[in-house]
Amino acid sequence: MLPLVVIAVAIAALVVLVAWAKVHPFLAFVLVSAGAAVALGMPLADVPGAVRKGIGDILGSLAIVIVCGAMLGKLVVESGAAQRIADTLVGACGEKRMAWAMMLTGFIVGIPLFYGVGFVLLVPIIFAVVERYRLPPLVVALPALAALSVAHGLLPPHPAPTALVSTFGASLGLTLLYGLIIAVPALVLAGPVFARAVAAIPARPLTGLTSTSRPEHELPGAGVSILTALLPAVLLLVTAIGGAVVPADSAAASIMKFVADPDVVMLTALLFATATLGLARGRSLPAVMNTFAAAIGDVASILLVIGGSGAFKQVLVASGVNSRIGEALQGLPLDPLVLGWLVTAVIRACVGSATVAGLTAAGILAPVVTAGGVDANLMVLAIGAGSLALSHVNDAGFWLFKEYFNVSLADTLKSWTVMETIVSVVGLAGVLVLARII
């Protein structure tokens, strides 16, 4: 029982440091990991090595994906491709189906962009649509932001789902395919359907938070914009399907496996975007590289948080406590997928960060997956869904929504918190349905 107490205290300390003391999550993870290692009986001389190994292992598997994803997202924004995607979808769907158009916009934009970047990008688009069509702000906003949350929590190549795939030895392509299936009901219920229930909540942009749209002649074409933004997902889906139909020992299977590697996928997409949204638009290569350099600053903190979570996970592994926790968890009368969701949701409610919640839960639940009897791809999605539950005052996304849309604290709880929780619960339901089918 003592190891469980130590881990509970470690997680509580992480909550206090991050949510109350406002310590950066990376530093909090390192301090808590070292303290937990000592409390769990690891020799003092082994503690620094375990922390370094945890940080190095997880960043080694994710650094290229995250950095290339940030560069791709930055170029999609600066080139005007994101605006073109939004304009195209809104024009195709019409005013009566504006909520559905914004849902699709948020989803397409959300796949290549990190959450904070996607949020800031969508806000001026949302208010431009509100101003043009005189619609209730949240009817336009919630579908787009729900889609952004779904992509952030459930779909590779976003950091947490990709890290979970690596931790559990899941398939990136299958996880994406299952995630897309689960995303559909979550998007519909948390987006256009729920938005109607909170349409009366007043929202308006603060001064300076809106931006002027680019002129039509400065935007890239719709086809190239959508293809470039979605290329990572397209490559993953094509290789997942192709890998399932070609003989496992064939040359084609080897090629599929190479192309499906997350690093190769993101590098391919980035090179394609450099050509289509950079050089082909008249920008010089040094100018495109400056955009990429600026993108690194957007994800530096994310990389540190993920690295810190790796240290915590490695302490659990090196001390052997993760195996004991896994054995204890397996004895509970709960479906492992429900357990994964529940553990993550509790950590999310305490810590605030979806990424921190998912990665912390991964270290605890890894033995459950290793023991077998649960699909690793579905466990990734169950944890991803749990990481979106119960967003409240300790979550940066909560305050982004409140401040950007200038709504009261109570109305933010009624709209944003409920929307995020709907996504989470529907996501879990989708995982459980898939588990009965596959």
Q: Classify residue 218 by its DSSP letter.
A: G
The residue-averaged pLDDT of 315-329 equals: 68
358 pLDDT higher than 70:
yes
348 pLDDT higher than 90:
no
pLDDT at res. 186: 92
pLDDT at res. 322: 60
pLDDT at res. 113: 64
> Among 221-230, 329-338, 404-413, 426-435, which stretch is predicted with the lowest mean pLDDT?
329-338
CA separation, residue 2 to residues 40, 50, 212, 256 (Å): 8, 21, 58, 47
Please give the Cα distance from 83 to 77 (Å, whole number).
8
128 pLDDT higher than 80:
no
The residue-averaged pLDDT of 382-407 equals: 81
211 pLDDT higher than 60:
no
Q: Which residue has the higher pLDDT, 19 or 21?
A: 21
CA neighbor of 276 nearest in space, from 210, 227, 331: 227
Tokens of 235: 């490559």
Q: pLDDT tens digit string along 246-292?
A: 887 888 888 888 887 878 888 998 999 999 999 999 999 999 999 89
Please give the Cα distance from 164 to 362 (Å, whole number).
7
The residue-averaged pLDDT of 145-156 equals: 86
212 pLDDT higher than 60:
no
- Map tokens 């989803």 to a residue: 107
pLDDT at res. 209: 45
Q: Which residue has the higher pLDDT, 27 or 410?
A: 27
Indicate the angle between helix axes 262-273 and 47-78, nearest 10 degrees. Answer: 30
Bond before 3 cis per omega within 30 degrees: no
Tokens of 263: 């690093």
pTM above 0.85, yes or no: no
360 pLDDT higher than 50:
yes
The C-alpha angle with vertex 403 and arms to 303 and 412, in degrees rounded to 5, equals 100
The residue-averaged pLDDT of 361-366 equals: 82
pLDDT above 90 as % of the chain: 22
Please give the Cα distance from 241 to 277 (Å, whole number).
28
Please give the Cα distance from 290 to 436 (Å, whole number).
48
- Map tokens 């052997």 to a residue: 320
9 contact partners, CB below 8 Å, separation of at least 6: 39
206 pLDDT higher than 60:
no
pLDDT at res. 285: 95
228 pLDDT higher than 60:
yes
Please give the Cα distance from 36 to 9 (Å, whole number).
9
279 contact partners, CB below 8 Å, separation of at least 6: 285, 288
Range from 1-5, 258-262, 395-399, 432-436 that averages highest in pLDDT: 432-436
The residue-averaged pLDDT of 329-344 equals: 82
Tokens of 97: 């189906």
436 pLDDT higher than 60:
yes
Please give the Cα distance from 108 to 69 (Å, whole number).
14
pLDDT above 70 as % of the chain: 89
